[in-house]
Amino acid sequence: MVPITFLDRDRSILAFNERVLDWARRDDVPLLERLRFLCIVSSNLDEFFEVRAVSHLTAFEGSEQKGTCTAASFKAISGIAHDMVARQYALYNDELLPAFGRQGIRIVSHGERNALQRRWVRAYFERAVRPLLVPVGLDPSHPFPQVANKSLNFIVRLGGRDAFGRENEIAIVKVPRVLPRLIPMTHRGGGEGRLFLSLSSVIRAHLADLFPGRKVGEFSQFRVTRHSDLEVDEDDVKNLRTALRLGLEQRHYGQAVRLEVSAGCSEFLSGFLLTQFNLPALALYRVPGPVNLVRLTQLVDLVNDPQLLFPRHKPCYPRQLQPGQSFFERLQQGDVSIHQPFESFDGVLAFLREAVNDPKVLAIKQTIYRTGADSELMLLLREAVRRGKEVTVVVELKARFDEEANINWAEMLESIGAQVVYGVMGLKTHAKMLLVTRRQGRRLVRYAHLSTGNYNPGTARLYTDISYLTADPLLTSDIDHVFVHLASHSRLPKLNRLLLAPFQLHTRLLEKIDALAQAALRGKDTRIVVKTNALTDEDLILALVRAGQCGVRIDLIVRGACMLPAQVPGVTDNIRVRSVIGRFLEHSRVFYFRVEKDDTLYLSSADWMNRNMLRRVELAWPVTDPVLRQRLIDECLVAYLHDGRDAWDLQPNGSYARVKPTDPAQRHGAQAALMARYSASKLRER
């Protein structure tokens, strides 16, 4: 095999955010949606620093080097991140704010306020803000306070002496999270149009009021990002839930990895903060605007002008289902797939609701990864327990940034008598499965739901995913074996249809790729198409490269990080990689393999990453119905390979180029086409 050089994973993650940022730059995107995409990029960058940056920073400081994390890698990703942040704020200040102004929507700064508005702001400050602020002057008995991850704060340099005659010059003002970051100004505040105030500008205008008798000199807002990937030593844990609760209390105060300050922050104050947080100069980000663009998402909800938003998308009820029809009767006729968010997640809720209300249903088993804090699905499980059904829930407590919600749901269900288990120590349970056991005559019949996504009605409206309902006895038997394995840790029998990580999923995928490579060498027509969120597993990448060099035609639709270099002459000529960034977050995982006319399609919860293959419980299952399989091929693969509007192709040098078809008729987006298809289907139903 001709050797390859892997692309850098973290640079690939940052490149993905460049593609998201492009949506904020596009003139054909409604104004509030452009702001939303800008905020999404900021949120993604926050998570990148919270999870990925600490190893690079540690290597830069000379403490420890891990794999590709070196001093040079920290400089490289810092350079990319600084450039991206600069372009974000340039877009915000130079394009979005003026565009909002033309719509009569303004975030009024202190310098722009007239006398009436300033009186209104002062009254608001005294009434709603000042009572919650406690400025802390620093001295030996008042050391630098604990500053929470991503919180808004001010640093102030004071002149004169304090009440005790001392010249302690530095003070910190921590801003509580409960305060809204954007405040609508009522008409009594004066001015025309829709006017808003940023909380930081309100506090900035009244800093002097917080330090009577002192002169406020230099000051700046600041925000520190901390390493927040919750780590628990599972070899030394007797109760994982308790250990995670303790860990959650410390998450907000992990190692500092990034410091954001106002663009005009003095060298003295920025240097003081860098010293306090033990950060190098490269970790300092000077921003000409609010230090937390993420919180500007509030403006989207506050304005809520339909003319400035995407046309409302209302998913249709799943095409293969009829409202009111029994799921148990329907699934005896064949499997059902639901393509979210084009079809509604309500079909999944209706399935569980029928199971809860049906007296013939004896048991319900479900995995929980991300459901959200307010979940109808969890309330249905509670009702199932109340009705006397056997309810078993496998809760993944370590779902990143959802740990607290999952712990709360686990405790609630356990308290009312549900059987709650936490999977396998050392492995995240990322598989999405729901199993219903029903008495039908003298038999017990199983019905199941599997998904490429989460059991979260909120994200089901925003993410593209496939829900799959089945009564296939071979598949449902496999699912039952997996539940027993997760609860009892007993050995798994040989599975009929499921591929399960960390056992055989990785191996079987490698075998399938290698089998196609051998078939291609024999002159067979071979094809691989994979849709996934990330491709970073080196073994799978090498297998794909070998297959491509043997003659297999390979298309990879990878939304985010991809370490496989595509279209490199003489190395990966047969492999194309494209990323589709649309209105909805691409999230479905679909794997297609074909030799001549013999094809196989799998749906999966797993990305092609080492952690998913070897350190998680993941599922992949085949779609055996040929009609259903063709529908999924058309909608999940073919549509995206022909996307001429929202697709980006990976270039041989590792960069991405947005697709620009020469024929205007080809300038369609896959998601827009699917929305139109399902809207037309809804109209036909009427």
Residues forming the active site: 430
Question: What distance in Å separates the CA atoms of residue 471 and residue 477, rounded to the nearest whole number?
Answer: 10
Q: Determine the 3-state secondary structure of 507 from DSSP.
A: helix
DSSP lists the bridge partners of residue 604 as: 589, 620
Q: Determine the 3-state secondary structure of 572 from DSSP.
A: coil
Phi-psi region of 668 (alpha: psi -120 to 50; beta: other; left: phi over 0): beta
Question: What distance in Å separates the CA atoms of residue 73 and residue 612, rounded to the nearest whole number?
Answer: 25
Helical pair 505-521 and 538-550, crossing angle rounded to 10 deg: 10
User: What phi and psi values does residue 91 have, to the nearest 5 degrees?
Assistant: -65, -45
Cβ–Cβ < 8 Å for 425, 240? yes
End-to-end Cα separation, the chain, in angstroms = 57
Q: If we measure between CA atoms, which residue out of 309, 227, 305, 260 comes closest to residue 89?
A: 260
Phi-psi region of 603 (alpha: psi -120 to 50; beta: other; left: phi over 0): beta
Q: What angle do CA 562, 668, 14 make, to 5 degrees?
A: 25
Question: What distance in Å separates the CA atoms of residue 546 and residue 569, rounded to the nearest whole number?
Answer: 14
H-only helix segments in 444-584: 473-488, 505-521, 538-550
Q: Which amino acid is at 93?
A: N
User: Tokens representing 546?
Assistant: 């070998």
CA distances in angstroms from 611 to 428, 523, 536, 544, listed in the order given: 9, 35, 9, 18
Q: Determine the 3-state secondary structure of 643 from DSSP.
A: coil
Q: Which amino acid is at 573?
A: D
Residues 6+ apart with CB under 8 A from 263: 286, 287, 288, 289
